[in-house]
Structure 1
Amino acid sequence: MRNRFSSNLITRHIRDYSSIYTFIMVLFLMGIIFGAVLVNSLSAPQKEDLFYYLNQYFTKVSAGETASSEELFKLSLLHNIKFTGLMWVLGISIIGFPLIFILIFIKGIVVGFSVGFLVNQMGWNGLLLSFVSLFPQNLFIIPVIIFIGACSVGFSMMLIRKIFIRKSITFQLTPIFSKYILAFIAAVAILTIAASVEAYIAPALMKTIITSISN
Protein backbone atom coordinates (compact mmCIF):
# COMPACT_ATOMS: atom_id res chain seq x y z
CA MET A 1 0.00 0.00 0.00
CA ARG A 2 2.81 2.40 0.91
CA ASN A 3 4.68 1.64 -2.33
CA ARG A 4 1.53 2.25 -4.35
CA PHE A 5 0.95 5.55 -2.55
CA SER A 6 4.54 6.64 -3.21
CA SER A 7 4.24 5.64 -6.86
CA ASN A 8 1.02 7.59 -7.25
CA LEU A 9 2.60 10.62 -5.54
CA ILE A 10 5.62 10.56 -7.88
CA THR A 11 3.41 10.06 -10.94
CA ARG A 12 1.19 12.97 -9.97
CA HIS A 13 4.22 15.17 -9.27
CA ILE A 14 5.73 14.44 -12.69
CA ARG A 15 2.38 15.00 -14.39
CA ASP A 16 1.82 18.33 -12.63
CA TYR A 17 5.34 19.55 -13.37
CA SER A 18 5.80 17.88 -16.77
CA SER A 19 6.17 21.14 -18.71
CA ILE A 20 8.72 22.48 -16.23
CA TYR A 21 10.69 19.22 -16.30
CA THR A 22 10.69 19.25 -20.10
CA PHE A 23 11.96 22.82 -20.28
CA ILE A 24 14.65 22.24 -17.62
CA MET A 25 15.94 19.05 -19.27
CA VAL A 26 16.09 20.73 -22.67
CA LEU A 27 17.91 23.67 -21.10
CA PHE A 28 20.37 21.32 -19.39
CA LEU A 29 21.04 19.45 -22.66
CA MET A 30 21.59 22.77 -24.42
CA GLY A 31 24.13 23.63 -21.72
CA ILE A 32 25.95 20.33 -22.31
CA ILE A 33 26.09 20.96 -26.06
CA PHE A 34 27.25 24.55 -25.54
CA GLY A 35 29.95 23.38 -23.11
CA ALA A 36 31.20 20.77 -25.57
CA VAL A 37 31.30 23.32 -28.39
CA LEU A 38 33.04 25.81 -26.09
CA VAL A 39 36.09 23.52 -26.02
CA ASN A 40 36.75 24.31 -29.69
CA SER A 41 36.84 28.03 -28.94
CA LEU A 42 39.91 27.62 -26.73
CA SER A 43 43.24 28.55 -28.26
CA ALA A 44 46.02 25.97 -28.52
CA PRO A 45 48.03 27.50 -25.62
CA GLN A 46 44.92 27.53 -23.43
CA LYS A 47 44.28 23.86 -24.17
CA GLU A 48 47.90 23.01 -23.47
CA ASP A 49 47.87 24.85 -20.13
CA LEU A 50 44.59 23.29 -19.06
CA PHE A 51 45.71 19.81 -20.10
CA TYR A 52 48.98 20.31 -18.21
CA TYR A 53 47.14 20.99 -14.96
CA LEU A 54 44.83 18.07 -15.72
CA ASN A 55 47.82 15.78 -16.17
CA GLN A 56 49.22 16.98 -12.87
CA TYR A 57 45.97 16.00 -11.19
CA PHE A 58 45.92 12.61 -12.92
CA THR A 59 49.47 11.98 -11.74
CA LYS A 60 48.45 12.72 -8.16
CA VAL A 61 45.42 10.43 -8.48
CA SER A 62 47.49 7.54 -9.79
CA ALA A 63 50.02 8.09 -6.99
CA GLY A 64 47.29 8.33 -4.36
CA GLU A 65 48.35 11.85 -3.38
CA THR A 66 44.93 13.50 -3.56
CA ALA A 67 42.87 14.58 -0.57
CA SER A 68 41.51 11.90 1.72
CA SER A 69 38.17 10.28 0.94
CA GLU A 70 36.66 11.92 4.03
CA GLU A 71 37.78 15.36 2.85
CA LEU A 72 36.50 14.72 -0.68
CA PHE A 73 33.17 13.61 0.77
CA LYS A 74 32.80 16.80 2.80
CA LEU A 75 33.79 19.05 -0.12
CA SER A 76 31.48 17.29 -2.57
CA LEU A 77 28.51 17.27 -0.22
CA LEU A 78 28.98 20.91 0.79
CA HIS A 79 29.34 22.07 -2.82
CA ASN A 80 26.25 20.24 -4.05
CA ILE A 81 24.13 21.29 -1.07
CA LYS A 82 25.13 24.91 -1.67
CA PHE A 83 24.21 24.63 -5.35
CA THR A 84 20.81 23.00 -4.81
CA GLY A 85 20.20 25.12 -1.71
CA LEU A 86 20.67 28.27 -3.79
CA MET A 87 18.04 27.07 -6.26
CA TRP A 88 15.74 26.20 -3.35
CA VAL A 89 16.10 29.68 -1.85
CA LEU A 90 15.59 31.32 -5.25
CA GLY A 91 12.28 29.47 -5.49
CA ILE A 92 11.13 31.11 -2.27
CA SER A 93 12.28 34.56 -3.37
CA ILE A 94 9.78 34.54 -6.29
CA ILE A 95 11.58 37.18 -8.35
CA GLY A 96 14.79 35.14 -8.32
CA PHE A 97 13.39 32.03 -9.96
CA PRO A 98 14.69 32.92 -13.49
CA LEU A 99 18.19 32.51 -12.05
CA ILE A 100 17.38 28.84 -11.48
CA PHE A 101 17.35 28.32 -15.24
CA ILE A 102 20.74 30.04 -15.51
CA LEU A 103 22.22 27.78 -12.82
CA ILE A 104 20.94 24.66 -14.56
CA PHE A 105 22.32 25.88 -17.89
CA ILE A 106 25.71 26.57 -16.26
CA LYS A 107 25.72 23.07 -14.74
CA GLY A 108 25.13 21.66 -18.21
CA ILE A 109 28.02 23.75 -19.57
CA VAL A 110 30.37 22.42 -16.88
CA VAL A 111 29.47 18.80 -17.65
CA GLY A 112 29.66 19.31 -21.42
CA PHE A 113 32.95 21.18 -21.24
CA SER A 114 34.55 18.58 -18.95
CA VAL A 115 33.61 15.66 -21.17
CA GLY A 116 34.31 17.58 -24.38
CA PHE A 117 37.78 18.65 -23.25
CA LEU A 118 38.82 15.15 -22.19
CA VAL A 119 37.58 13.70 -25.47
CA ASN A 120 39.23 16.50 -27.46
CA GLN A 121 42.61 15.91 -25.81
CA MET A 122 42.60 12.15 -25.21
CA GLY A 123 40.12 10.66 -27.68
CA TRP A 124 38.50 7.40 -26.59
CA ASN A 125 40.67 7.28 -23.48
CA GLY A 126 39.28 10.67 -22.52
CA LEU A 127 35.74 9.43 -23.05
CA LEU A 128 36.43 6.42 -20.83
CA LEU A 129 38.09 8.60 -18.21
CA SER A 130 35.22 11.08 -18.19
CA PHE A 131 32.80 8.18 -17.83
CA VAL A 132 34.43 6.83 -14.67
CA SER A 133 35.24 10.23 -13.16
CA LEU A 134 31.99 12.10 -13.88
CA PHE A 135 29.22 9.60 -14.53
CA PRO A 136 29.00 7.72 -11.16
CA GLN A 137 28.23 10.74 -8.96
CA ASN A 138 26.34 12.67 -11.64
CA LEU A 139 24.01 9.72 -11.98
CA PHE A 140 22.61 11.00 -8.67
CA ILE A 141 23.49 14.71 -8.79
CA ILE A 142 21.93 15.63 -12.14
CA PRO A 143 18.47 14.13 -11.37
CA VAL A 144 18.53 15.93 -7.99
CA ILE A 145 19.38 19.26 -9.64
CA ILE A 146 16.59 18.79 -12.18
CA PHE A 147 14.18 17.75 -9.42
CA ILE A 148 14.99 20.70 -7.15
CA GLY A 149 14.99 23.03 -10.13
CA ALA A 150 11.50 21.90 -11.12
CA CYS A 151 10.22 22.08 -7.53
CA SER A 152 11.71 25.54 -7.03
CA VAL A 153 10.29 26.94 -10.26
CA GLY A 154 6.91 25.30 -9.56
CA PHE A 155 6.81 26.66 -6.01
CA SER A 156 7.76 30.15 -7.15
CA MET A 157 5.15 30.15 -9.92
CA MET A 158 2.55 28.92 -7.43
CA LEU A 159 3.37 31.82 -5.11
CA ILE A 160 3.12 34.29 -7.98
CA ARG A 161 -0.20 32.82 -9.12
CA LYS A 162 -1.69 32.77 -5.63
CA ILE A 163 -0.41 36.14 -4.43
CA PHE A 164 -0.55 38.34 -7.51
CA ILE A 165 -2.97 36.73 -9.95
CA ARG A 166 -5.62 35.02 -7.82
CA LYS A 167 -5.76 37.23 -4.76
CA SER A 168 -9.32 36.18 -3.95
CA ILE A 169 -8.27 32.54 -3.37
CA THR A 170 -7.22 31.57 0.13
CA PHE A 171 -3.52 30.91 0.15
CA GLN A 172 -2.49 28.04 2.47
CA LEU A 173 1.25 28.33 2.67
CA THR A 174 2.02 25.78 5.40
CA PRO A 175 1.22 22.47 3.62
CA ILE A 176 2.81 23.61 0.36
CA PHE A 177 5.93 24.90 2.08
CA SER A 178 6.17 21.69 4.14
CA LYS A 179 6.29 19.64 0.94
CA TYR A 180 8.88 22.05 -0.41
CA ILE A 181 11.07 21.49 2.67
CA LEU A 182 10.64 17.70 2.40
CA ALA A 183 11.74 17.87 -1.24
CA PHE A 184 14.99 19.55 -0.20
CA ILE A 185 15.57 17.04 2.61
CA ALA A 186 15.12 14.19 0.11
CA ALA A 187 17.56 15.93 -2.23
CA VAL A 188 20.17 16.23 0.53
CA ALA A 189 19.81 12.51 1.27
CA ILE A 190 20.49 11.61 -2.37
CA LEU A 191 23.35 14.11 -2.55
CA THR A 192 24.91 12.34 0.43
CA ILE A 193 24.92 9.14 -1.62
CA ALA A 194 26.42 11.05 -4.57
CA ALA A 195 29.17 12.49 -2.35
CA SER A 196 29.97 9.00 -1.07
CA VAL A 197 30.29 7.72 -4.63
CA GLU A 198 32.46 10.67 -5.65
CA ALA A 199 34.72 10.29 -2.61
CA TYR A 200 35.06 6.53 -2.28
CA ILE A 201 34.29 4.96 -5.67
CA ALA A 202 35.14 7.46 -8.44
CA PRO A 203 38.81 7.97 -7.36
CA ALA A 204 39.42 4.21 -7.36
CA LEU A 205 37.91 3.89 -10.84
CA MET A 206 39.95 6.85 -12.07
CA LYS A 207 43.15 5.38 -10.66
CA THR A 208 42.48 2.07 -12.43
CA ILE A 209 41.81 3.73 -15.78
CA ILE A 210 44.75 6.15 -15.52
CA THR A 211 47.09 3.29 -14.67
CA SER A 212 45.87 1.21 -17.61
CA ILE A 213 46.19 4.17 -19.99
CA SER A 214 49.72 4.93 -18.77
CA ASN A 215 50.79 1.34 -19.29
Structure 2
Amino acid sequence: MGRNRSMQQYMKEHLSFYLFVGVIFVTGVVFGAVMVNALSMDQKQEITRYLGNFFSSVEQGALGGDVQGSFRDSFSMHIKWILIIWVLGVSVVGLPLILILDFLKGVLIGFTIGYLAGTMSWKGLLFALVAVVPQNLIAIPVLLVCSVTAMAFTVHLVKNRFLQKRGTLYEPFMRFSATVLASAVLLAGVAMLEAQVSPVMMKWVTPMLVLGSAS
Protein backbone atom coordinates (compact mmCIF):
# COMPACT_ATOMS: atom_id res chain seq x y z
CA MET A 1 0.00 0.00 0.00
CA GLY A 2 2.78 2.39 0.94
CA ARG A 3 4.68 1.46 -2.19
CA ASN A 4 1.66 2.23 -4.39
CA ARG A 5 1.22 5.57 -2.66
CA SER A 6 4.87 6.46 -3.13
CA MET A 7 4.66 5.49 -6.82
CA GLN A 8 1.58 7.66 -7.25
CA GLN A 9 3.36 10.53 -5.55
CA TYR A 10 6.42 10.00 -7.75
CA MET A 11 4.35 10.07 -10.95
CA LYS A 12 2.45 13.12 -9.75
CA GLU A 13 5.71 15.01 -9.18
CA HIS A 14 7.51 13.82 -12.31
CA LEU A 15 4.79 13.26 -14.93
CA SER A 16 5.35 16.67 -16.53
CA PHE A 17 9.08 15.92 -16.77
CA TYR A 18 8.41 12.58 -18.46
CA LEU A 19 6.00 14.16 -20.93
CA PHE A 20 8.45 16.93 -21.77
CA VAL A 21 11.44 14.59 -22.18
CA GLY A 22 9.30 12.17 -24.19
CA VAL A 23 8.25 14.94 -26.58
CA ILE A 24 11.88 16.04 -26.98
CA PHE A 25 12.96 12.47 -27.76
CA VAL A 26 10.12 11.81 -30.23
CA THR A 27 10.88 15.14 -31.93
CA GLY A 28 14.47 13.96 -32.32
CA VAL A 29 13.29 10.67 -33.87
CA VAL A 30 11.10 12.53 -36.38
CA PHE A 31 13.90 14.99 -37.15
CA GLY A 32 16.35 12.13 -37.71
CA ALA A 33 13.94 10.37 -40.08
CA VAL A 34 13.40 13.59 -42.03
CA MET A 35 17.18 14.13 -42.27
CA VAL A 36 17.37 11.07 -44.53
CA ASN A 37 15.58 13.01 -47.28
CA ALA A 38 18.08 15.87 -46.95
CA LEU A 39 21.09 13.68 -47.81
CA SER A 40 22.79 14.25 -51.14
CA MET A 41 23.15 11.40 -53.62
CA ASP A 42 26.87 11.10 -52.85
CA GLN A 43 26.17 10.85 -49.13
CA LYS A 44 23.53 8.16 -49.70
CA GLN A 45 25.90 6.19 -51.92
CA GLU A 46 28.65 6.41 -49.30
CA ILE A 47 26.34 5.18 -46.54
CA THR A 48 25.00 2.41 -48.80
CA ARG A 49 28.55 1.32 -49.61
CA TYR A 50 29.40 1.23 -45.90
CA LEU A 51 26.27 -0.80 -45.15
CA GLY A 52 27.12 -3.21 -47.95
CA ASN A 53 30.54 -3.85 -46.42
CA PHE A 54 28.93 -4.22 -43.00
CA PHE A 55 26.38 -6.75 -44.26
CA SER A 56 29.13 -8.75 -45.96
CA SER A 57 31.10 -8.82 -42.71
CA VAL A 58 28.05 -10.00 -40.79
CA GLU A 59 27.30 -12.72 -43.34
CA GLN A 60 30.89 -13.97 -43.14
CA GLY A 61 30.66 -14.19 -39.35
CA ALA A 62 33.09 -11.35 -38.64
CA LEU A 63 30.60 -9.78 -36.24
CA GLY A 64 30.17 -11.36 -32.82
CA GLY A 65 33.47 -13.22 -32.76
CA ASP A 66 34.82 -11.16 -29.88
CA VAL A 67 31.94 -11.16 -27.41
CA GLN A 68 34.00 -9.61 -24.61
CA GLY A 69 35.23 -6.80 -26.84
CA SER A 70 31.73 -6.13 -28.17
CA PHE A 71 30.32 -6.09 -24.65
CA ARG A 72 33.06 -3.73 -23.47
CA ASP A 73 32.55 -1.31 -26.37
CA SER A 74 28.77 -1.33 -26.05
CA PHE A 75 28.74 -0.93 -22.27
CA SER A 76 31.36 1.83 -22.47
CA MET A 77 29.17 3.77 -24.90
CA HIS A 78 26.04 3.38 -22.75
CA ILE A 79 27.76 4.16 -19.46
CA LYS A 80 29.38 7.32 -20.85
CA TRP A 81 25.94 8.54 -21.89
CA ILE A 82 24.38 8.22 -18.44
CA LEU A 83 27.52 9.47 -16.67
CA ILE A 84 27.31 12.64 -18.75
CA ILE A 85 23.67 12.96 -17.67
CA TRP A 86 24.74 12.48 -14.02
CA VAL A 87 27.41 15.18 -14.31
CA LEU A 88 24.97 17.55 -16.00
CA GLY A 89 22.36 16.78 -13.35
CA VAL A 90 24.59 17.82 -10.44
CA SER A 91 25.50 21.06 -12.21
CA VAL A 92 23.10 23.98 -12.22
CA VAL A 93 23.45 24.75 -15.93
CA GLY A 94 23.16 21.17 -17.17
CA LEU A 95 19.41 20.89 -17.70
CA PRO A 96 19.29 22.23 -21.30
CA LEU A 97 22.20 19.97 -22.24
CA ILE A 98 20.33 16.92 -20.89
CA LEU A 99 17.45 17.76 -23.23
CA ILE A 100 19.89 18.15 -26.12
CA LEU A 101 21.30 14.67 -25.38
CA ASP A 102 17.80 13.17 -25.43
CA PHE A 103 17.07 14.96 -28.70
CA LEU A 104 20.32 13.69 -30.26
CA LYS A 105 19.58 10.14 -29.14
CA GLY A 106 16.23 10.39 -30.89
CA VAL A 107 17.91 11.79 -34.01
CA LEU A 108 20.35 8.85 -34.14
CA ILE A 109 17.60 6.26 -33.84
CA GLY A 110 15.25 8.05 -36.24
CA PHE A 111 17.98 8.49 -38.85
CA THR A 112 19.14 4.87 -38.61
CA ILE A 113 15.67 3.33 -38.89
CA GLY A 114 14.54 5.92 -41.45
CA TYR A 115 17.53 5.30 -43.70
CA LEU A 116 17.27 1.51 -43.55
CA ALA A 117 13.53 1.54 -44.20
CA GLY A 118 13.79 4.24 -46.86
CA THR A 119 16.54 2.63 -48.93
CA MET A 120 15.81 -1.09 -48.42
CA SER A 121 12.05 -1.07 -47.88
CA TRP A 122 10.75 -3.90 -45.69
CA LYS A 123 14.12 -5.66 -45.64
CA GLY A 124 15.76 -2.59 -44.13
CA LEU A 125 12.93 -2.31 -41.64
CA LEU A 126 13.39 -5.97 -40.73
CA PHE A 127 17.10 -5.42 -40.15
CA ALA A 128 16.34 -2.37 -38.00
CA LEU A 129 13.89 -4.46 -35.95
CA VAL A 130 16.58 -7.01 -35.08
CA ALA A 131 19.65 -4.74 -34.94
CA VAL A 132 18.35 -1.47 -33.46
CA VAL A 133 15.01 -1.97 -31.73
CA PRO A 134 15.57 -4.79 -29.17
CA GLN A 135 18.33 -3.16 -27.10
CA ASN A 136 16.73 0.27 -27.37
CA LEU A 137 13.49 -1.04 -25.88
CA ILE A 138 15.49 -1.12 -22.64
CA ALA A 139 18.15 1.53 -23.25
CA ILE A 140 15.76 4.35 -24.20
CA PRO A 141 13.50 4.06 -21.10
CA VAL A 142 16.64 3.87 -18.94
CA LEU A 143 17.98 7.02 -20.60
CA LEU A 144 14.67 8.85 -20.14
CA VAL A 145 14.40 7.84 -16.46
CA CYS A 146 17.97 9.08 -15.86
CA SER A 147 17.17 12.32 -17.66
CA VAL A 148 14.00 12.93 -15.66
CA THR A 149 15.78 12.13 -12.37
CA ALA A 150 18.60 14.49 -13.32
CA MET A 151 16.14 17.25 -14.20
CA ALA A 152 14.24 16.76 -10.94
CA PHE A 153 17.48 16.94 -8.97
CA THR A 154 18.57 20.10 -10.80
CA VAL A 155 15.22 21.77 -10.08
CA HIS A 156 15.48 20.71 -6.43
CA LEU A 157 19.03 22.06 -6.31
CA VAL A 158 18.02 25.45 -7.68
CA LYS A 159 14.91 25.68 -5.51
CA ASN A 160 16.43 24.65 -2.19
CA ARG A 161 19.92 26.07 -2.53
CA PHE A 162 19.54 29.26 -4.51
CA LEU A 163 15.92 30.39 -4.07
CA GLN A 164 14.63 29.21 -0.71
CA LYS A 165 18.05 28.25 0.71
CA ARG A 166 16.71 25.50 2.92
CA GLY A 167 16.44 21.73 2.98
CA THR A 168 19.04 19.05 2.46
CA LEU A 169 20.42 17.70 -0.77
CA TYR A 170 21.58 14.38 0.66
CA GLU A 171 18.42 12.35 0.05
CA PRO A 172 17.70 13.69 -3.49
CA PHE A 173 21.37 13.28 -4.42
CA MET A 174 21.47 9.67 -3.17
CA ARG A 175 18.21 8.90 -4.97
CA PHE A 176 19.61 10.38 -8.18
CA SER A 177 22.89 8.49 -7.85
CA ALA A 178 21.08 5.23 -7.01
CA THR A 179 18.99 5.65 -10.17
CA VAL A 180 22.13 6.10 -12.25
CA LEU A 181 23.72 3.05 -10.61
CA ALA A 182 20.65 0.90 -11.26
CA SER A 183 20.62 2.18 -14.82
CA ALA A 184 24.23 1.09 -15.23
CA VAL A 185 23.26 -2.45 -14.19
CA LEU A 186 20.41 -2.51 -16.71
CA LEU A 187 22.67 -1.14 -19.43
CA ALA A 188 25.16 -3.91 -18.69
CA GLY A 189 22.35 -6.31 -19.62
CA VAL A 190 21.69 -4.28 -22.78
CA ALA A 191 25.38 -4.48 -23.70
CA MET A 192 25.31 -8.25 -23.20
CA LEU A 193 22.26 -8.45 -25.46
CA GLU A 194 24.10 -6.45 -28.13
CA ALA A 195 27.23 -8.59 -27.80
CA GLN A 196 25.62 -12.05 -27.78
CA VAL A 197 22.11 -11.96 -29.22
CA SER A 198 22.12 -9.13 -31.77
CA PRO A 199 24.93 -10.59 -33.95
CA VAL A 200 23.03 -13.89 -34.22
CA MET A 201 19.82 -12.12 -35.22
CA MET A 202 21.63 -9.87 -37.70
CA LYS A 203 23.38 -12.87 -39.27
CA TRP A 204 19.97 -14.49 -39.67
CA VAL A 205 18.45 -11.61 -41.68
CA THR A 206 21.55 -10.33 -43.50
CA PRO A 207 21.46 -12.87 -46.39
CA MET A 208 18.11 -11.44 -47.45
CA LEU A 209 19.62 -7.92 -47.58
CA VAL A 210 22.71 -9.04 -49.48
CA LEU A 211 20.61 -10.90 -52.03
CA GLY A 212 18.28 -7.95 -52.29
CA SER A 213 21.10 -5.49 -52.94
CA ALA A 214 22.70 -7.85 -55.46
CA SER A 215 19.49 -8.13 -57.43
Query: Which residue of 178, 181, 185 corresponds with 2:181?
Result: 185
Counterpart in the other structure of 1:138: 136
Query: Which residue of 5, 12, 15 corresponds with 1:15?
Result: 12
Counterpart in the other structure of 2:204: 208
Q: Distance in 1 between matches of 2:2 and 2:142?
A: 21
TM superposition score normalised by structure 2: 0.93
Query: Which residue of 81, 84, 96 corresponds with 1:83?
Result: 81
Query: Which residue of 181, 190, 194 corresponds with 1:198?
Result: 194
Counterpart in the other structure of 1:45: 42
Query: Which residue of 156, 164, 167 corresponds with 1:166?
Result: 164
> Which residue identity does 1:39 align to in structure 2?
V
Counterpart in the other structure of 1:55: 52
Q: Which moved more, 1:155-164 or 1:12-21?
A: 12-21
Counterpart in the other structure of 2:113: 115
Counterpart in the other structure of 1:155: 153
Q: Which moved more, 1:9-18 or 1:49-58?
A: 9-18
Q: Distance in 2 between matches of 1:175 and 1:26?
A: 29
Counterpart in the other structure of 1:124: 122
When the two structures are aligned, how many residues end up with a matched partner? 210
Counterpart in the other structure of 2:72: 74
Structure 1 residue 7: Cα displacement? 4.8
Q: Which moved more, 1:102-111 or 1:11-20?
A: 11-20
SS at structure 1 position matched to 2:123: helix
SS at structure 2 position matched to 1:171: coil
Do the aligned residues in 1 keep the contact of 2:124 with 2:209 (CA within 8 Å)? no
Measured against aligned partners, the alpha-carbon deviations of 1:111-145 in whole angstroms (never above 9, x if no partner) come to: 00000010111001001100100011101100011
Q: Distance in 2 between matches of 1:198 and 1:102?
A: 25
Do the aligned residues in 1 keep the contact of 2:52 with 2:210 (CA within 8 Å)? no
RMSD: 1.4
Do the aligned residues in 1 keep the contact of 2:160 with 2:167 (CA within 8 Å)? yes
Listed as ranges, the gaps of 5+ residues in structure 1 are none
Identity of aligned residues (%): 33
Structure 1 residue 6: Cα displacement? 4.9
Do the aligned residues in 1 keep the contact of 2:56 with 2:210 (CA within 8 Å)? no
Q: Distance in 1 between matches of 2:122 and 2:2?
A: 45
